[in-house]
A and B are shown apart, each in its own frame.
Chain A
Amino acid sequence: MSRNDLGFDTINLGHGSGGLMTRDLLDHIIFETFNNPYLNQKHDGSIITVDGELAISTDSFVVSPIFFKGGNIGELAVNGTVNDVAMCGADPKFLSLAFVVEEGLPMEDFVKIVDSIKKAADTAGVQIITGDTKVVERGKGDKIFINTTGFGKVHPKANISSNKIKSGDKIIISGPVAQHGMAIMSQRDGLEFESTIESDTTNLNFLVKDLLDVFGAKIHLFRDPTRGGVASVLSELADDTNLGIKLQETEIPLDDQVAAACEILGLDPLFVANEGIFITVVGAEIADEVVKLMKKHEKSPRASCIGEFTSEHPKKVVMHSVIGGKRMVTPLLGEQLPRIC
């Protein structure tokens, strides 16, 4: 039996029953695709050997639509968790993979998502070592939800903690903001607009590793500004560190098309979700070198130093606007909604 010939056009409740249909699905799609010594044990779990510190991160992915420009929920589920582990200063190697599928999902879509997961995992150098598949009745889910948990050894030179951030530290962003959120928004029901904006979803673990190899503990923090965007991450950091943040609007990389889409919809790009960039906080003495290295890296050609921590205005993020004014940047409240005019 081939993976495309399970005898079903759609996933149905039987595929989550634990019986023969589940086994067929696992054998011919999951195991065949991910094929590695850990999964091939076909055990309830996998055993991994660890020496030193281990970073673990888990995330659930519920994005709608499940296929969008620049990616799909599958690669998002890999890259999102890989990046979260990397943000701990660790080198992700293993992932768990759990599906909650709504009955009626076309088998073709499921296979496409599984293939994307495989491709993204290979690209990021991680293996899927355990997993789960559940199927819920129609209406009890939204096509497919995915949870992944990532495991990775902490880099020997890493010392990542917001406690290390001090006044004068520089804030560097690895690439243009708001790409992912606007790609999704452009394809939402009722809000469709024509654009070629693509999600920026990608794995950032090798970039993080390269930075830690060179700069080690002088890098104080990595954080990926996913939901809530750059504004929410920076507001949290200002709060956690009891320091203020000065931001330069002119230094924040933003694609013209994304900027235009944000204008039209009345959205602030600083609040819009990202999936393929991070913010790093580094000592002022290495900031220029960090930006230089990042600009040479394929994942961050548009890296930019966007601001710094300051002992002035503790806990407040102040944006220095394009025209020389100042404004407060506050965290996102609830979901960002398009404005009327």
Chain B
Amino acid sequence: MKYLSEYRNLEATKKYLDLIAKTATKTWNIMEICGGQTHGLVKNGIINLLPENVRMIHGPGCPVCVTPLNLIDKAIELLENGVIVCSFGDMVRVPGSKKSLLEAKANGGDLRILYSPLEAVNIAKQNPDKEVVFFAVGFETTAPANALSVLHAKKENVSNYSILVSHVLVPPAMEGILDDELCTIDAFLGAGHVCAIMGTEEYYPLVDKYKIPIVITGFEPLDLVQGIYMAIVQLEKGEYKLENQYSRVVKEEGNVAAKKMMESVFEIADREWRGIGTIPESGYRLKKEFLAYDAETKFGISSIATPENSTCIAGQILKGIKKPHQCTQFGKACTPANPLGAPMVSSEGACAAYYHFSNNLITS
């Protein structure tokens, strides 16, 4: 199976777009949770192919976007104090309150862009006289590898390695969005890759409590239009259930080994979401027995207060209350080169995705 070409098939995608147009008789607001899905919708021009009454609302599932500003400042502080900071690529351009990690690197900081946190453990081994910190951001998708790096460091007695944890979880965020009194969301496209790790179990209670359809969906054009169609069929019938469009990847039980690994290293904690605020029990922190690998504890940097730009409406964007182009700053004071808030930063953020791929098509 050619996963790249077959799920980008013109005829098959058109078939679902036609079905969506025929089936949707009312106006439906559907939120795709994951930034990767937002990226896919906008990059392939799917939003403009949907009928007017099917509205996609872009959710908070972009790890770069929801990582709190003060955590970026903490990573920069570490970098400026001679620590080797390792990070995923798109985190490094995000401006902190004064500068980005990339700017701190230009000033002499030793910043490494990596794909795997295990590589950071290797860097720690190769630099025994230096401290090495991995900036552990992301959802349930990146948490297993980050947990593995801690287990690996412990096993190999690498004591100069630690992680700056900013792990957040999807279901509490969905609940936070649904609890907002301005929420207009009728259905969710569940985040396919998150469910590949976590399985489907934790979404049933949400479906029941909020009586809302959730369709776990993939990222290719055909996945997205099929997921949207499945949600609309439920909505039109007045049903609400959990469905799995992405069954070629997502299994009911998820990835059991990855879950075990996360559970052994992390425990549930309250977490601050950039643009949204603190959501109870919405993220991970390291368990007590692993605090030696917790950068905030190790370096005593747990209290940096960092205010957000007051004109930014990121919270309303991330909750789907407003669309990026409805912001007065969008494309003017706020651009990817000079982002005022989180969703303009990463290409998966709703504002940046609109700016890069469709802003002029939509606003003109």
Residues of A within 8 A of B (CB): 189-191, 193, 256, 259-260, 263, 265-266, 313, 316, 318-330, 333-334, 337-341
Contact = CB atoms under 8 A, between A and B. Distances in A.
B89 A328 contact: no
B4 A326 contact: no
A285 B133 CA distance: 59
Interface stretch (B41-49, B154-162, B268-276): B41-49
Given A316-B360, A340-B63, A322 B44 contact: yes
Mostly helix, strand, loop or mixed at chain A's interface? loop
B141 interface: yes
Nearest to A189: B112
B133 to A, nearest CB: 15
A190 B114 contact: yes
A318 B36 CA distance: 21
Pick the 7 closest A-B CB pairs, nearest first. A325-B45, A338-B89, A337-B89, A327-B357, A323-B13, A326-B45, A340-B88
Contact of A321 (B14, B43, B102, B139): B43
B13 A263 contact: no
Contact of B115 (A191, A316, A319, A321): A191
A190 B359 contact: no
15 contacts: A190-B112, A266-B90, A316-B360, A321-B221, A322-B44, A323-B8, A323-B221, A324-B45, A325-B47, A326-B48, A327-B45, A337-B89, A338-B90, A341-B63, A341-B138
A318 B359 CA distance: 11
Contacts of B221: 321-323, 325
A324 B10 contact: yes
A325 B91 CA distance: 29
Nearest to B115: A191
Contacts of B215: none
Contacts of A263: 4
A189 B113 CA distance: 9
Contact of A327 (B8, B9, B44, B337): B44
B91 A340 contact: yes
B137 interface: yes
B356 A326 contact: no
A132 to B, nearest CB: 28
Contacts of B337: 333-334
A254 to B, nearest CB: 10
Interface in B319-364: 336-337, 346-348, 355-361
Given A321-B44, A324-B13, A341-B36, 8 more contacts: A322-B221, A323-B8, A325-B49, A325-B221, A327-B361, A334-B93, A338-B89, A339-B346
B147 interface: no
B36 to A, nearest CB: 6
